[in-house]
Amino acid sequence: MTGMFGRMRIVLAASVCLAGTPALGEEGMWTFDNFPSAKVKALYGVDITPAWLDHVRGAAVRLSTGCSASTVSGRGLVLTNNHCVAECAQDLSSKGQDYYTRGYLAEEKTCPGMQAEILTAITDVTDQVTGAGKGLSGDALVKARTAVTSTIEQQACTDQATTRCQVVSLYHGGQYKLYAYRKYSDVRLVFSPGVQMAFFGGDPDNFNFPRYDLDSAFVRLYENGRPVASPGHLVWNAANPVAGQPVFVAGNPASTERQLTVAQLETQRDLTTPMRLTSLAELRGRLIRFGEENEENRRVAQDLLFGLENSYKVYVGEEQALVDPAFMAGKRAEEAALKAKVATLKSRPAGFGDPWADLAAVQAQQAELALPLNYVERGPLGSTLFDYARRLVRAAAERQKPSAQRLPGYADAQLPLLQKQVFDPKPVEPKLEQLVLEFWLSKARENMTADSPETKLLLGRDSPEDLSAALAKSSLGDPAVRRKLWDGGAAAIAASRDPMIQLVLRIDPEARRLRAIANEQVTGPATVAAEKIAKARFAAYGTSTYPDATFTLRLSYGTIQGWTYRGQTVPPFTYFPGLYERATGKPPFDLDQRWVAAQGKLSAATVFDMSTSNDIIGGNSGSPLINAKGEVIGAVFDGNIHSLGGDYGFDPKLNRAVAVSAGAVSEALRKVYHADALAEELAKEG
């Protein structure tokens, strides 16, 4: 989900619906095996049957880019957002052809590293997972849980070419579910409108409404060189939506933290989020300066810059929620209510103790480890070369171990996607690499001091400038080199003289040590405490609450509606004429010339963008907006400014999702982009 923090202050009233109590209003990112159909029936008179849920689940798509999507034709055509395929468009571009800016309508080409997944089954494995950790704590508990989840995934998905399995923690350890997916490793770009019209209005309009954005795109699923058959796709409905009609969003919200304790939220407020904001703001500035040097620099940096700006604005919004006294007072009241409810229960698990105090106790250790983990274990933000080296080095070491004993992400069931991401050809820009690497190394020295062991490990006797210049000359940009190192295993890695491989080899023992300490002092104790609280919440409220988002398939319900704030009512629809009224000819309100030429041809009555009361968060980008018949009527691409604190709570009076309508997409395909074949494919399936 794209987003922006405007000048207005975000205030989440104390009356905001909180996830620790039964969900009210239209709040909730519900799993498909626990959707409140009876409540929806009572609210809207709509029957959400098991068959309806199965149909939508079978058409909902998760993209490895961190986005959502849906099949919308019988030939594997998939609807998503433009910003979900922006990296693909950038990767397919060259100095003479900027698909990121101009858009894409050409031969369908594979998106490097992209994988699509459709959920096929959900199985409860709670007893297996929690049983593996009984009597253990700290790093031993984390390793035991990693081992059992690896085994479950491997046994459930024996056909790694077409399936993927993932054990998911829900309710912060209250449940563990095995999600099985049908996966597609050949995902090809079909159409992108380009960033100019997908992100019309830029920062001033981002996370605001009215909006005039065609933030939509299409990819196609292929297997064995041919489009896949997808008979269970969603029907395309280009008719104008109606205000007040019930709508549903099926997507994969990335992460919410509505069930965190107050102590955990305070750590985010005081440490985690401010540290992220400082880093993102400075790197954003460096990228802007880099892009101003020349046109080619602008082109190669534009996708990374977009992502940084988006993340920065989201974190600003989240921090504003956390520093709001009324919001935090509501969280404290919620926590106190749960504690009081638990105190009245006739029976509590043996050794229950005070898990809230246990979680509060680990916050100091988390703060102590924050900087070393950030710079040594997580590494530089935006460096493709470092990511390749880390994956190659760790894969070579981990593949020598039994699958169940490996680090998360390197078990046999997880290797196919990892290999795809390492092997797929992808452009690497040395000048951009040098910039992000220099930033990482210079900030490590600044924040941990030149005398810290971690800084000395990273830099040795080099300066950030000299070392980043040497690292940017790595040969890992060549996919043939990467494949040779992968195939050669530990021996090839040890023999490599590549500067980035050498750096990762040097720092990896310390990075692993830091991971183990974090497991022992933070992750392990937090897991035990969170599971106790989850069990207490179940005992108090049952399954009337939904779990925090985990980038797994969820369904939210709502209606098409605007909102009223400080006496100002915002209608739920925008139309094509409003786009031309808003256009000034100057960035970010300048129009693609194809849209200038199409003025007067587009139907003035067609809804362009709309707002709905569905509960969404980042990761929902590209989610289909579905009517009661199960037809797709749009694609969600953003939230309004009031939803910026949606990571921590939901206000049904103000929080809104923003979507582009299917009708606007069809109009633009025919009258702006002259993509008649694509428009006909959608109309035929409608």
**Domain with 89 in it: what CATH number?**
2.40.10.120
What confidence tens digit (pLDDT) does each residue in 592-607 have?
Answer: 999 999 999 999 999 9
Is the pLDDT at 2 greater than 90, yes or no?
no
Is the pLDDT at 17 greater than 50, yes or no?
no
**CA–CA separation, 343 vs 324, rounded Å?**
29
Q: What three-state secondary structure class fits 471?
A: helix
pLDDT score recorded for residue 440: 98
**What's the average model confidence in pLDDT over 200-216?**
95
What confidence tens digit (pLDDT) does each residue in 457-501 have?
Answer: 999 999 999 999 999 999 999 999 999 999 999 999 999 999 999
Is the pLDDT at 233 greater than 60, yes or no?
yes
What confidence tens digit (pLDDT) does each residue in 117-166 have?
Answer: 999 999 999 999 999 988 899 999 999 999 999 999 999 999 999 999 99
Confidence of residue 76 (pLDDT cuts 50, 70, 90): very high
Do 101 and 226 sit in the same domain of this protein? yes
Q: How far apart are the first and last CA of the chain?
A: 26
pLDDT score recorded for residue 252: 98
Tokens describing residue 216? 């939509």
What confidence tens digit (pLDDT) does each residue in 279-321 have?
Answer: 999 999 999 999 999 999 999 999 999 999 989 999 999 999 9
Q: For residue 22, say if its preceding peptide bond is cis, omega within 30 degrees of 0.
A: no
CB 144 within 8 A of CB 519: no
Number of domains observed in the structure of the chain: 2
Q: Determine, yes or no, domain membership for 168.
A: no
**Backbone dihedral angles phi then psi of residue 77, each to the nearest 5 degrees:** -75, 135
pLDDT score recorded for residue 4: 29
The residues, ordered by sequence, that sit 6+ positions from 136 with a Cβ below 8 Å of its Cβ are: 144
CB 238 within 8 A of CB 662: yes
Cα distances from 256 to residues 86, 206, 292, 650, in angstroms, run: 24, 21, 36, 11
Q: What three-state secondary structure class fits 80?
A: strand
pLDDT score recorded for residue 294: 97
Is the pLDDT at 234 greater than 80, yes or no?
yes
Q: Determine, yes or no, domain membership for 379.
A: no
CB 266 within 8 A of CB 363: yes
Do 508 and 589 sit in the same domain of this protein? no
In one-letter notation, the amino acid at residue 195 is V
Confidence of residue 8 (pLDDT cuts 50, 70, 90): very low
Do 599 and 669 sit in the same domain of this protein? yes
Confidence of residue 25 (pLDDT cuts 50, 70, 90): low
**CA–CA separation, 37 vs 53, rounded Å?**
10
Do 90 and 222 sit in the same domain of this protein? yes
Rounded to two decimals, the pTM is 0.94
Return the closest-CA partner of residue 88 out of 115, 60, 69: 115
673 alpha-carbon distance from chain centroid: 29
Q: Determine, yes or no, domain membership for 227.
A: yes
DSSP β-bridge partners for residue 384: none
pLDDT score recorded for residue 350: 73
**What's the average model confidence in pLDDT over 222-234?**
98
Helix axes 355-372, 524-541, angle to 10 degrees: 140
- Where residue 171 falls (left for φ over 0; alpha for ψ -120 to 50; beta otherwise) is left
DSSP β-bridge partners for residue 222: 186, 227
Q: Determine, yes or no, domain membership for 140.
A: no
Exposure string for 515-547, b = 16+ CB within 10 A, e = fewer: bebbbbbbbbbbbbbbbbbbbbbeebeeeebbb
Task: Return the percentage of the chain with pLDDT > 70, whole number.
Answer: 96
Q: Determine, yes or no, domain membership for 567.
A: yes
What confidence tens digit (pLDDT) does each residue in 92-127 have?
Answer: 999 989 999 999 999 999 999 999 999 999 999 999
Residue-number span of the structural domain to which 56 is assigned: 37-115+185-256+552-685
In one-letter notation, the amino acid at residue 408 is P
Do 625 and 477 sit in the same domain of this protein? no
The residues, ordered by sequence, that sit 6+ positions from 503 with a Cβ below 8 Å of its Cβ are: 386, 389, 458, 467, 471
